[in-house]
Amino acid sequence: MYNERNYRFLLKDLSSLEGVGIKTANLLKKKKINNIFDLLWKLPKTYTDRSLSSKIKDLRIGENQTITLVPIKYSFPRIRNLPNRVLCSDETGEIDCIFFNSYEGYIKKILPLGKHITISGKIGRFRNKYQLTNPKYISENSSLIKQKHNTYSLTDGISEKVYNKIINQIIQKIPLLKEWHSKEILSKFDNISWNDSIKELHKPENIGNYKKHFYKRLAYDEIFSTFLVNSEIRKKIKRIKKKRKKIDYKKQELIINSLDFSLTNDQKKVLKEINNDLSSPNKMFRLMQGDVGSGKTIVSFLAAINTINSGFQVALMAPTEILAKQHYNLAKKIFPQNFKVRMISGKSDYKEKKETLKNLELHKIDIIIGTHAIFQKKVSFKKLGLIIIDEQHKFGVNQRKKLSDKGGDNCDILLMTATPIPRTLTMTMYGDMDLSIIREKPMSRKPIQTYSKLESKIDDVLKFINKEIKLGNQIFWVCPLIEKSKKLNHTSAIKKYEYLCDLFPNQVSLLHGKTSIEEKEIILNNFLQNKFKILVSTTVIEVGIDFPNANVIIIENANKFGLSQLHQLRGRVGRGHKQSSCILLFKSNLSENAKKRINILKNSNDGFIISEEDMKIRGFGDILGFKQSGIKNFKLADPIHNSDLFLLAEKEIRRIEKSKEDISKFKPLIKLYDRADIINDIA
């Protein structure tokens, strides 16, 4: 019978199941299977069909077969290394069942003399006689054996039989859950219930049947629950009332007119969206998504200026000191003279820091720029009105939620990311925020020319960069990290540095993960000031830094990087007015598939398109930033194959939001599918 709390059975500990002891439970826990629900997604890979039985005379050696027979004689030799043996027969012949390491008592119990027993296993032959060694499928009840037995990719230490027993037990006990979806949604999946879908999912004949309605329904449940949680967070944040900011459009125009470029249409559109949020009575929680070099910084600065002009303070957080410094320098240049701009850095001395903290509390500072240090507990603001976070793609939902709580109700939040990802992923990862997208790149930008070259043709490359250096341009040379026994290795960068030093004396510097922060900053500053020409590095340079004079990037061993990552790397150049180039070096000729991928990169300069195409070829797991993002891994849903379900879920969420539908009926769904802390205060 249905009961409101039925779903809780699924959240029970595994040890509540028959036959699951502490040992098995612990083995499963190691695989992150903590409760009954988790185990439902461990799907069979194949199955062994034990449903047809044979007579002994017809047995085929080396195959899994099922026989019904009668044990007729025990032989327990009591000599070390000699196995116990049970002679069995049917009306057509005899077979030996051989047991290593099994006790007499146990054997007598499972193979009682004179009884009809069904047994299944791989048939062997020894000294002209059939035998079955350590058979696992033995029962007096033939129907338990004569069926299709699923094969799972097994967790060490748990046998297939035990696995099947556990899963079958769960499938039988699966509680009836009240349907949470509307009739319209359900009709898209042939009206199949959650319970029936799970049962179908585990049927041997349905292995790999991911186009069937039961599979889609379950995938939809996953997607929908994620979106629902996102929607709840968004709604919750939006319900927070704040003091409206009064935008001074005249002052905004003054700043825009003082720039040496005009804003792109997308920049204008996004600025408008942000301004609308700032001046609304509800808290802003917005993500600005745009490719590298799409000009996010200036938009966020205009938002900051508008916030300050309406009497509030702003905090701007960058992922690194260098980027913070670059933002700081730009702010000093662009912001009105009377604004008090400060930077907080790991390097500021104690006295200076103390002074800054005091002035923040007294509202004697309008905008503070720094790394995560600006969110330490001891930092407090008199009137914080906006938090801006640059390049935040390493934050998960939980961290974002915490962030939005910070700064108090009057504080709007603007996040920026340069990781263009396909729409289905954006919906999944950032659905808790409102979204502003900059797709268009500044007009003055010439598209980067992308070439691929064999490493053996390095002389051509050297000729090319020689020419560029003579024209006064600078070059990035990127070497991938070599992973050796889990320790990252910088030898390839060091070797390349030495090699290039010989060819271009006094013109080369090196940066890698072991370079100290201070040293790194000096090197990057020298590069910015054109004090040397070639910067050899591993991928340690943040994408956000602007090097207007660098127009060539060489990427070695380019097949070690994903397309989105290559695109981001190449975005380090091409920010000035000059024609820029990206040269991808390969150790050997490209395979057809690799060629296809590289062509995507050559033919497009749009990070959204590139990531979409890359995802189609490689699957979504490898897309840049996806793994680190803290996003839960879907068990069934796939952003590529199920993109229709993502759209359906989004539409349904919008409908629910609009109609202000009561969402308490989704409580079991949320509890089952998403047990993150953030859910607790919703359901």
| Contacts (Cβ under 8 Å, ≥6 apart) of 44 | 150, 151, 152, 202, 204, 207
| Shortest distance in whole angstroms from residue 468 CB to ligand ADP | 20
| Contacts (Cβ under 8 Å, ≥6 apart) of 510 | 493, 494, 497, 523, 535, 536, 537
| Shortest distance in whole angstroms from residue 573 CB to ligand ADP | 12
H helices of 447-570, where? Answer: 458-470, 491-503, 517-528, 563-570
Q: What angle do CA 121, 126, 132 make, to 5 degrees?
A: 15
Q: What angle do CA 669, 672, 673 make, to 5 degrees?
A: 80
Nearer to ligand ADP, 267 or 306 (CB): 267
Structure token digits, residue 264? 């792109």
Contact of residue 294 among ligand ADP, Mg ion, none (CB under 5-8 Å per partner type):
ligand ADP
Contact of residue 295 among Mg ion, ligand ADP, none (CB under 5-8 Å per partner type):
ligand ADP
What is the residue whose two structure tokens read 């790194």? 520
Nearer to ligand ADP, 300 or 515 (CB): 300
Structure token digits, residue 462? 């050297």
β-pairing, 84-90 with 64-75? antiparallel
Contact of residue 630 among ligand ADP, Mg ion, none (CB under 5-8 Å per partner type):
none
Nearer to ligand ADP, 197 or 326 (CB): 326
| Shortest distance in whole angstroms from residue 605 CB to ligand ADP | 13
Nearer to Mg ion, 544 or 668 (CB): 544
How far does Cα 285 stand from its chain's mean position? 21
Nearer to ligand ADP, 290 or 431 (CB): 290
Cβ atoms of 121 and 136 within 8 Å: the answer is yes
Nearer to ligand ADP, 69 or 287 (CB): 287
CB-closest chain residue to ligand ADP: 295
Q: What angle do CA 228, 229, 235 make, to 5 degrees?
A: 85
The number of residues that bind Mg ion (CB under 5 A) is 1
| Shortest distance in whole angstroms from residue 612 CB to Mg ion | 22
607 near Mg ion, judged by CB under 5 A: no
Nearer to ligand ADP, 290 or 562 (CB): 290
The alpha carbons of the chain give a radius of gyration, in whole angstroms, of 32
Residue 486 to residues 213, 478, 490, 494: CA-CA distances in angstroms?
A: 43, 21, 13, 19
What is the residue whose two structure tokens read 């969206």? 273
Nearer to Mg ion, 180 or 335 (CB): 335
Residue 237 to residues 274, 400, 401, 434: CA-CA distances in angstroms?
A: 16, 11, 9, 11
| Shortest distance in whole angstroms from residue 184 CB to ligand ADP | 41
Nearer to ligand ADP, 71 or 319 (CB): 319
> What angle do helix axes 213-239 and 194-201 make, rounded to 10 degrees?
130
Contact of residue 444 among Mg ion, ligand ADP, none (CB under 5-8 Å per partner type):
ligand ADP
What string of DSSP letters covers 544-595? T---TTEEEEEETTGGGS-HHHHHHHHTTS--SSS--EEEEEESSPPPHHHH
- Return the bridge partners of 509, or none: 535
| Shortest distance in whole angstroms from residue 607 CB to Mg ion | 13
Contact of residue 292 among ligand ADP, Mg ion, none (CB under 5-8 Å per partner type):
ligand ADP
DSSP state of 448: P
User: What is the rounded distance in angstroms from the CA atom of residue 115 to the CA atom of residue 72?
Assistant: 9
Nearer to ligand ADP, 216 or 575 (CB): 575
| Shortest distance in whole angstroms from residue 37 CB to ligand ADP | 41
Contact of residue 147 among Mg ion, ligand ADP, none (CB under 5-8 Å per partner type):
none
| Shortest distance in whole angstroms from residue 406 CB to Mg ion | 22
Contact of residue 71 among Mg ion, ligand ADP, none (CB under 5-8 Å per partner type):
none
Contact of residue 360 among Mg ion, ligand ADP, none (CB under 5-8 Å per partner type):
none
Residues that bind ligand ADP (CB under 6 A): 261, 263-264, 267, 290, 292-298, 418, 442, 444, 544, 546, 575
Looking at residues 531 to 560 of the shown chain, list those that interact with Mg ion (rule: CB under 5 A). 544
| Shortest distance in whole angstroms from residue 215 CB to Mg ion | 41
Contact of residue 197 among ligand ADP, Mg ion, none (CB under 5-8 Å per partner type):
none
Contact of residue 309 among Mg ion, ligand ADP, none (CB under 5-8 Å per partner type):
none
> Which H/E stretch holds residue 97?
strand 93-99
| Shortest distance in whole angstroms from residue 576 CB to ligand ADP | 8
Contact of residue 458 among Mg ion, ligand ADP, none (CB under 5-8 Å per partner type):
none
| Shortest distance in whole angstroms from residue 266 CB to ligand ADP | 9
Nearer to ligand ADP, 137 or 547 (CB): 547
Residue 359: burial class (beta carbons within 10 Å; 0-12, 13-18, 19+): middle
User: What is the rounded distance in angstroms from the CA atom of residue 389 to the CA atom of residue 641?
Assistant: 33
Nearer to ligand ADP, 124 or 576 (CB): 576
| Shortest distance in whole angstroms from residue 575 CB to ligand ADP | 5
Contact of residue 261 among Mg ion, ligand ADP, none (CB under 5-8 Å per partner type):
ligand ADP
Q: Write out the residues near Mg ion by the rule CB under 5 A.
A: 544
